[in-house]
């Protein structure tokens, strides 16, 4: 893929989030072998070293991979400033919110198997969320207003559920979250969602992006659908198969416990009433939104799998179109009724005359080289767009060819999240030849033309 700079950089810093695990490292090469400058990479190492010398951080692990190969992998400073133990490449970090991608991949595996639909209300799987209220502040009081729409699985994945976190901010809803003690490590995921379901939402579902407990709720959904604990499912379907033995929710093996990174003793607080946990002590909590530990090399394998379109070492975990769909814009310029799934219907007929449909635009082919796998094709004449049924909606998962007169031209992929309106009717398109479907960008007014092959309608 010459049009994409496929580089993966993981910086694991003591007291900060992005950690990651390993056992089967990706292949290693010298930086120059994958087009990176050793001299310039060394500047990063020196900068991290200066941060350590100034006691801003105890230590760090830096891993940079490109084209599926590790070109730079350094450990600096102390793993445990109290004991003086040096940082090592296999240090185990609390990865906090980098747990979210793992949980979401687990859920998308169930989506691919048809066991979850993105448009499903989560109450279908967890009835406690059937009747939710939204907290509306009226002076010093909090009034409850019924939710106007159900929380969907997609809302959990894109943080538009209306849930929030209590350890930042000062709204009355956030205070209620804080008082509910949702970070209690003795709560199972079942206990956690029961508490969350009793709390008011901060926003109407589908209207506002808010970083939240959404992925914790998603983790419980994985448990309900799979019949396993979140860790059991992830271990069997992802972690063991990917070769990520140091990635888990707790470090119970005594032989590995010395490798757990620790912050400065006076720097153990994260937000309001939240402190660093001790992953060596197993508790009931398995937070899909922030409870995992890992190493840099383990997490590099997970990320490389995603960069590869859902495959690593000959094993497939997700389909390439699923990964591309995950990486597209699901919010657009607004959130709510105007923001739909890629190609999701905005009216009775998704391609009915005049019906507007928003697409998460992803890119195009250029001179036969793929910019986004299997998703689109730039050609001088004609083009194809695949439509398939998903969750009751007709999804446009391919792109029509760019018209030769388009100012963007085939040489420039459209940006992620370009908002497009689709107008036309597929009944007007003759099978196998270009028809009258026109796609127009709402922002720049540029036209994209092409036809749809009827054989592609499932």
CATH number of the domain that residue 143 is part of = 3.40.710.10
Tens of pLDDT along the chain (458 residues) come to: 322 223 454 555 443 333 333 346 899 999 999 999 999 999 999 999 999 999 999 999 999 999 999 999 999 999 999 999 999 999 999 999 999 999 999 999 999 999 999 999 999 999 999 999 999 999 889 999 999 999 999 999 999 999 999 988 889 999 999 999 999 999 999 999 999 999 999 999 999 999 999 999 999 999 999 999 999 999 999 999 999 999 999 999 999 999 999 999 998 888 777 788 999 999 999 999 999 999 999 999 999 999 999 999 999 999 999 999 999 988 875 554 322 223 333 333 222 322 222 222 233 322 333 332 222 322 222 222 332 222 322 222 233 322 222 333 333 333 333 333 232 222 222 223 232 223 322 222 223 333 222 222 22
Q: What span, in angstroms and rounded, lies between the C-alpha atoms of 95 and 248? A: 10
Cβ partners under 8 Å of residue 132, min gap 6: 146, 147, 151, 162, 197, 200, 201, 205
Considering the domain boundaries, does residue 240 fall inside one?
no
Asked whether residue 211 falls in the same domain as residue 119, the answer is: yes
Assigned domain for 245 exists: no
On whether both 177 and 278 belong to a single domain, the answer is no
CB-CB neighbours of 315 under 10 Å: 11
Domain assignment present for 160: yes
**In this structure, are residues 60 and 87 in contact, taking their beta carbons and an 8 Å threshold?**
yes
Residues 6+ positions from 445 with CB-CB distance below 8 Å: none
Torsion of CA 440, 159, 279, 248, to 10 degrees: -50
Does one domain contain both 207 and 276?
A: no
Burial 64-102 (b: 16+ CB within 10 A, else e): bbbbbbbbbbbbbbbbbbeeebebebbbbbbbbebbbbb
What integer pLDDT is reported at residue 152 of this predicted model? 96
Pair (50, 90) in one structural domain? yes
**Looking at residue 23, what is its pLDDT?**
44
- 355 with 391, same domain? yes
Say how far apart CA 249 and CA 279 lie, in whole Å: 7
Q: Is residue 324 part of a domain?
A: no
256 shares its domain with 368: no
Residue 133 pairs in a beta bridge with: 146
Q: Same domain for 79 and 186?
A: no
For residue 334, the model assigns a pLDDT of: 54
Regarding whether 106 and 75 lie in a shared domain, the answer is: no
| CB neighbour class for 47 (10 Å; exposed up to 12, middle 13-18, buried from 19) | exposed
Q: Is residue 182 part of a domain?
A: yes
The answer to whether residues 85 and 105 belong to one domain is no
Which of 226, 258, 274 delimits the end of a domain?
226
Q: Would you say residue 233 lies in a domain?
A: no
Interacting residues of 164 by C-beta distance below 8 A, sequence separation 6+? 171, 173, 174, 177, 202, 210, 211, 212, 213
Would 323 be classed as within a structural domain? Answer: no
Do 184 and 297 share a structural domain?
Answer: no
> Whole-model pTM?
0.71
What is the model's pLDDT at position 110?
96
> What is the domain range of residue 380?
330-458
Please tell me the distance from the alpha carbon of residue 252 to that of residue 183, in angstroms, as a whole number.
20
What's the CA gap between 330 and 198, in Å, rounded? 28
Query: Is 237 contained in some domain?
Result: no
Number of domains in the chain: 3
The DSSP symbol for 315 reads E
Same domain, residue pair 74 and 142: no
Calpha distance 73→296 (Å, rounded) = 9
Is there a single domain that holds both residue 341 and residue 413?
yes
């Amino acid at each position: 893929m010459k049009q994409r700079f496929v580089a993966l950089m993981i910086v694991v810093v003591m007291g900060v989030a992005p950690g990651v695990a390993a056992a089967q490292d990706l292949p290693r090469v010298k930086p120059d072998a994958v087009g990176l400058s050793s001299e310039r990479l060394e500047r990063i190492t020196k900068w991290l070293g200066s941060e350590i010398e100034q006691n801003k951080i105890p230590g760090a692990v830096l891993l940079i991979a490109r084209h599926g190969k590790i070109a730079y992998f350094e450990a600096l400073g102390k793993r445990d400033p109290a004991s003086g133990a040096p940082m090592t490449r296999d240090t185990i970090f609390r990865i906090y919110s980098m747990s979210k991608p793992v949980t979401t991949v687990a859920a998308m595996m169930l989506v691919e198997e048809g066991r979850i639909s993105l448009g499903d209300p989560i109450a279908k799987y967890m009835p406690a969320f059937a009747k939710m209220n939204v907290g509306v502040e009226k002076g010093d009081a909090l009034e409850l207003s019924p939710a106007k729409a159900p929380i969907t699985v997609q809302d959990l994945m894109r943080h538009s559920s209306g849930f929030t976190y209590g350890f930042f901010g000062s709204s009355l809803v956030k205070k209620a979250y804080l008082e509910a003690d949702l970070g209690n490590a003795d709560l199972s995921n079942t206990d956690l969602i029961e508490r969350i379901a009793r709390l008011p939402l901060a926003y109407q579902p589908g209207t506002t992006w808010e970083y939240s407990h959404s992925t914790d709720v998603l983790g419980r959904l994985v448990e309900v659908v799979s019949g396993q604990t979140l860790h059991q499912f992830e271990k069997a379907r992802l972690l063991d198969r990917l070769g990520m033995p140091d990635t888990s929710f707790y470090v119970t093996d005594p032989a590995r416990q010395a490798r757990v990174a620790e912050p400065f003793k006076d720097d153990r607080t994260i937000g309001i009433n939240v402190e660093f946990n001790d992953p060596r002590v197993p508790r009931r909590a398995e937070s899909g939104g922030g409870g995992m530990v890992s190493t840099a090399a383990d997490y590099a394998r997970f990320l490389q799998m995603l960069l590869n379109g859902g495959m690593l070492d000959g094993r497939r975990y997700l389909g390439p179109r699923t990964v591309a769909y995950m990486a597209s814009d699901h919010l657009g310029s607004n959130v709510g009724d105007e923001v739909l799934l890629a190609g999701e219907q905005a009216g009775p007929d998704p391609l009915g005359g005049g019906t507007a449909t928003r697409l998460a635009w992803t890119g195009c082919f250029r001179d036969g080289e793929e910019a986004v796998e299997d998703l689109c094709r730039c050609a001088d004449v004609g083009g194809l767009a695949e439509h398939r049924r998903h969750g009751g909606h007709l999804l446009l998962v391919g792109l029509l060819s760019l018209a030769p007169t388009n100012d963007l031209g085939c040489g420039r992929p459209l940006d992620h999240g370009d908002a497009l309106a689709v107008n036309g009717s597929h009944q007007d398109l003759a099978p196998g030849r270009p028809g009258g479907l026109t796609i127009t960008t709402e922002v720049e007014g540029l036209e994209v033309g092409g036809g749809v092959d009827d054989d592609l309608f499932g």
